[in-house]
Structure 1
Amino acid sequence: RGAVLHPSGAGQLDQNRRWAAEVVNDFRENLLKFLRSSSDQPFFQSAEFLTTGSYFEKVKIHNPDEFDMMLKLQAPSRLNMTELDGGLFYRLDFLRPTRSPVQVFLLENQQLSSSKILTEMFRLVHKENLEDLNQPICMDVVYSCEGSGGINLMRRNICPCSCMEVHPSQGWPLAVRNGPDVENWLGKKVRQEIRSLPIYFVPKRLKGRNLSEESWRISFSHIEKKIITSHGNKKTCCESNATKCCRKQCLMLLKSLIEGLKQRFPKELEDLCSYHGKTAFLHTLFNDSMWARQQLPSCFLHLLGALEDHARRADLPHFFVPSCNLFSPAVFPKKALAFLVGALEEQRMFEFNFEAKKQHSFVSIHDSYINKL
């Protein structure tokens, strides 16, 4: 009935992780070397990788077989960031004409083209893959999905995505300028540090809009990584076994549940993704006292209940863009949301009732897998 982890043994998992690290590092180094030595696209010569996503946050479930990496490109001058949907998607325009290499990606009125950047990224990655004769495994380069900002190298499932970096001196867009509300949890200093970080825009089409319309989605993945890595108001949280909490384990269990539900109901839950679970997780982090490691069953049920409550109320505010509701009918159909509520309630009542089913197989899976992370 439920979604259950099926991990490999600890030794095999460690071996797979070492192999994955070698694959990712090899790909990253080879692509950067190629871009810096390539003269046919100067704008990409100064690119750097931003390591974000579940693998780099150390909350990857199952074997490490998919890796998201952002190739950051520096905006050479100030940008005008025009909201398209209330704060998550934007149109980017340069405030004045530029002679930098980025000019080949501009449309009329100095608008920065997301589709041109993505197409060029695809071409360069494909070219590097063909020219690199030292690759131990051949990779097929394809667009990851319609409207996506990423490119998949299928046989390794490495997904490099170009993103435009906006310098902190320009400030964040108005809709997100205050930053996440973490002052009473992580402290005023951490909130100021977060607001001083650069922001990134990923080329991605706004759902429901014309295919020809250029748009960029704002990304806070680097800040999410920072929060998940340094997640407690006590700076010593998770530095030793004595101070470990169960936050990451709860997130991994929720990600596994979402993955299992999508496998079981691919059509009904097509709009559901792990970011919905991650967002609900970020909204629950503020109470440090409730995340004791020995309380993992009840903590996970609390997190699962929080996601169910967001779905029931059709209200899941983006953690960094509160005006954007990830469960609004425009992006998550009412029928699919109602189905999700039922599925989550079923899981909470029957499959993940730790208190009533202490001998459930899921507990043994947790003992043999999660505690080894």
Structure 2
Amino acid sequence: ISAPNEFDVMFKLEVPRIQVEEYSDTGAYYFVKFKRNPKANPLIRFVEEEILSASKMLLKFRKIIKEEIKNIGETDVSVEKKKPGSPAVTLLIRKPEEISVDIILALESKSSWPASTQEGLPVQSWLGTKVRNKLRQEPFYLVPKHAKEGNVFQEETWRLSFSHIEKNILNNHGTSKTCCETDGVKCCRKDCLKLMKHLLEQLKKNFKDRKEMDKFCSYHVKTAFFHMCSRNPLDSYWDPRDLSLCFDDCVTYFLQCLRIEILEHYFIPKFNLFSQDKIDKTSKEFLSKKIEYERNNGFPIFGKF
């Protein structure tokens, strides 16, 4: 947001005829199996006891990228150390300027979305039922993100990803189809999201030595923002002249989510991103206090860096 130096690239792998089995009633994590296991299936070597191994595939994916990096001559590129539980292979490019690129392996499935998403994507009053039905006909993705139980990762699980739908919504975000087009009326939705992301980004930077900030990420802000769009569907609410009011409303909603310890995943309602087992109460209270301080003092952190 402040400087475009982090990028995500999804590496899609189409997998025909898979079945997914929900892991431990999470709604978000799944074991992946093939409906048939023909010998010709090139992924058969990653199957263990009928389950497609997320850890084995991620290991191989990482190895391939590391080998390819050796062939890049003119740019200074290195692969960052693996982060526990992360589905990404992160490249650090140092020249001509420093940027990091997350390459994420994603299985693409053209089957119906899993049952846990049935009540999710609440865009009916905002983008309309037709749009929702059309979006739900898009493929869904599974990334090798391991479910965490206590301090242990379940290394064979895959997590649902709807980043392509999120991108689609952000690009076509208005009640009126011409919102923010060249000749259309402008709104401040994207500016609110940028400010929310920037706020969290700067707080994480400012308190990088505090473990309370470790669990928070821009996806939490993005999810809260989407819920705000569903709650306030009309373009007139997001008038650019009311940017400060809209931003304040977004901050208020995010603080409320922290306080009640509930932030529903936008696509998987039963998956609570702020549940006690994911982020402890102390961390949520710490972030709340920091955001409250910023709001009460006119966001001094925005001018700090």
TM over 0.5: yes
Match of 2:269 in 1: 322
Instruction: Give the C-alpha shift of residue 247 in structure 1.
Output: 0.7
> Is residue 2:179 matched to residue 1:232?
no
Q: 1:157 aligns with which of 87, 100, 106?
A: 100
Q: Name the SS for the 1:131 alignment partner.
A: coil
Match of 1:340 in 2: 287
List gaps (5 residues or longer) in structure 2: 94-98
What is the CA deviation profile of residues 25-66 of structure 1, one whole-angstrom value per residue up to 9, with x for unaligned ones?
xxxxxxxxxxxxxxxxxxxxxxxxxxxxxxxxxxxx022211
Preserved CA contact (<8 Å) 1:318 1:325: yes
Q: Name the SS for the 1:97 alignment partner.
A: coil
Match of 2:122 in 1: 181
Instruction: Give the C-alpha shift of residue 78 in structure 1.
Output: 2.6
Match of 1:105 in 2: 46
Match of 1:172 in 2: 113
State the TM-score, normalizing by the size of structure 1. 0.74
Q: 1:78 aligns with which of 6, 14, 18?
A: 18
Q: 1:148 aligns with which of 69, 86, 96?
A: 86
Alignment partners' CA distance in 2, 1:151 and 1:240: 37
What is the CA deviation profile of residues 197-252 of structure 1, one whole-angstrom value per residue up to 9, with x for unaligned ones?
00000001112363463111100100000111111110010003651111111111
Alignment partners' CA distance in 2, 1:217 and 1:101: 22
Q: Aligned ranges for residues 265-304 of structure 1 at < 5 Å?
A: 265-266=207-208, 267=210, 268-286=212-230, 287=232, 288=234, 289-304=236-251
Greater CA deviation, 340-349 or 309-318? Answer: 340-349
Relative to its length, the structure with more helix (as a share) is 1
Percent of residue pairs bearing the same amino acid type? 38
Q: Aligned ranges for residues 198-209 of structure 1 at < 5 Å?
A: 198-208=139-149
List gaps (5 residues or longer) in structure 1: 1-60, 353-359, 366-373
Match of 1:197 in 2: 138
Preserved CA contact (<8 Å) 1:122 1:151: yes
Q: Aligned ranges for residues 121-140 of structure 1 at < 5 Å?
A: 121-133=61-73, 136-140=74-78
Instruction: Give the C-alpha shift of residue 90 in structure 1.
Output: 1.1
Q: Name the SS for the 1:165 alignment partner.
A: strand
What is the CA deviation profile of residues 307-338 of structure 1, one whole-angstrom value per residue up to 9, with x for unaligned ones?
01111111110111110111110001011111
Preserved CA contact (<8 Å) 2:207 2:213: yes
Preserved CA contact (<8 Å) 1:179 1:194: no
Alignment partners' CA distance in 1, 2:228 and 2:66: 41
Match of 1:117 in 2: 57
Q: Name the SS for the 1:91 alignment partner.
A: strand
Query: Matched residue pairs, number?
Result: 291
Relative to its length, the structure with more strand (as a share) is 2
Cα 1:361/1:211, change in 2 over 3 Å: closer
> Is residue 2:10 matched to residue 1:67?
no
Cα 1:189/1:143, change in 2 over 3 Å: farther
Instruction: Give the C-alpha shift of residue 92 in structure 1.
Output: 1.1
Q: Name the SS for the 1:347 alignment partner.
A: helix
Match of 1:55 in 2: none
Alignment partners' CA distance in 2, 1:179 and 1:333: 25
Instruction: Give the C-alpha shift of residue 302 in structure 1.
Output: 0.8
